[in-house]
A = this chain, B = another copy of it.
């Protein structure tokens, strides 16, 4: 019987030009910590300036922290949290993609709580202590499409010392406000557009096959799968196609709602292990590398759901033998990867060695064990190693 909790307390402003509404939208305080990446994109494209201008328009003071890297590091999170505390910041605004927004969430949490982030993390080496205080309110201004962090409480941070990349979240790490303005994604180059879009796609797919899928998450998942299949190749081919960009931004947002109403599966645990040891590997690329091997393994355990997803991607299954039908999802996935130019990503291109497979599987099981519990079939360590090996090239 259907049974679920629903909570997505974030207010979302979605649409082309919505960043301009930040001037008028009520914000939760008078001193903001603005968090951006260490790269120059947010400055070059004027996004940071537009946010700062909106804050000035509202007579809100701000300080900028600009050291966040791809797969954000715990070290920077703790540094920024100390900075926010020392300066009595009222709220945190992240301006950027998933890494920046996740870092902003972690900073907001640690600005209001004592000790180290790993004191609260519940898997891996985390001490799993209860979070005492609500995070500072978080505002997310998205400049990429795919992560979904704009509509979920999750933050993923890497502890480089321990080789642990772990997701965490509490109700107060839902953003207070998220601005999803597809115009800001026009500057994302084709390869990043593709791998970030696939991140949204995999959130939806994993959320759909997860044990705890709900009727609400299912409606979102199927819409994401349809939107990505139809629009991602267009957005990759022609980055100026604002309609395709808008549909991908919508898919990204909905994929966050999937993560708030269902869950990722061990596919994400496995990828986290890869980037925990190879932080220069972008998350979406890691997911893509293992996706065919992973979902081919799971197709037989959740056949109906794989068939439904294949249908959303335009596959016709009527004339096929029953046991082949679920695998049309793999066919569709391969096609979509090819159309988006990401069908040839190799682990070896990022320096991952074949003899690391067992280490990665062990790391996945240890640091992100919670997502294995979401699978409808429980992967053994051996099976996990096999999937990694099948995916390796």
Q: Which residues does chain B contribute within 8 Å of A219, judged by CB atoms?
A: 219-220, 223
Q: Which of B1, B247, B250, B253 contacts A16 (CB 8 A)?
A: B1
Flag if B13 contacts A5 (CB, 8 Å). Answer: yes
Interchain CA distance A16-B2 in the complex, whole Å:
8
Q: Which of B220, B243, B253 contacts A1 (CB 8 A)?
A: B243
Residue of B nearest to A222 (CB): B219
Q: Which residues does chain B contribute within 8 Å of A216, judged by CB atoms?
A: 254
Residue of B nearest to A220 (CB): B219
Given A9-B9, A12-B7, A254-B216, CB of A2 within 8 Å of CB of B223: no
Q: Which residues does chain B contribute within 8 Å of A246, judged by CB atoms?
A: 1-2
Flag if A11 contacts B16 (CB, 8 Å). Answer: no
Q: Which residues does chain B contribute within 8 Å of A6, judged by CB atoms?
A: 10-12, 14, 253
Interchain CA distance A168-B167 in the complex, whole Å:
40
A215 interface hit (Cβ, 8 Å) = yes
Interchain CA distance A295-B3 in the complex, whole Å:
34
- The 0/1 profile, CB within 8 Å of B marked 1, for residues 210-232 of chain A is 00000110011001000000000
* Chain A interface, >50% SS class: mixed
Min CB distance A10 to B, Å, is 8
Flag if A250 contacts B2 (CB, 8 Å). Answer: yes
Q: Which residues does chain B contribute within 8 Å of A29, judged by CB atoms?
A: none
Flag if A242 contacts B1 (CB, 8 Å). Answer: yes
Min CB distance A211 to B, Å, is 15
Q: Which residues does chain B contribute within 8 Å of A3, judged by CB atoms?
A: 14-16, 18
Q: Which of B4, B14, B250 contacts A14 (CB 8 A)?
A: B4
Q: Which residues does chain B contribute within 8 Å of A293, judged by CB atoms?
A: none
Flag if A14 contacts B1 (CB, 8 Å). Answer: no
Q: Which residues does chain B contribute within 8 Å of A16, judged by CB atoms?
A: 1, 3
A78 interface hit (Cβ, 8 Å) = no
A8 interface hit (Cβ, 8 Å) = yes
Interchain CA distance A322-B243 in the complex, whole Å:
28
Q: Which 8 A-B pairs have the closest CB atoms?
A: A3-B15, A6-B12, A7-B11, A9-B9, A219-B219, A4-B14, A219-B223, A2-B246
User: Given A1-B15, A219-B219, A219-B223, 7 more contacts at CB 8 Å?
Assistant: A1-B242, A1-B243, A2-B246, A7-B11, A8-B8, A215-B250, A219-B220
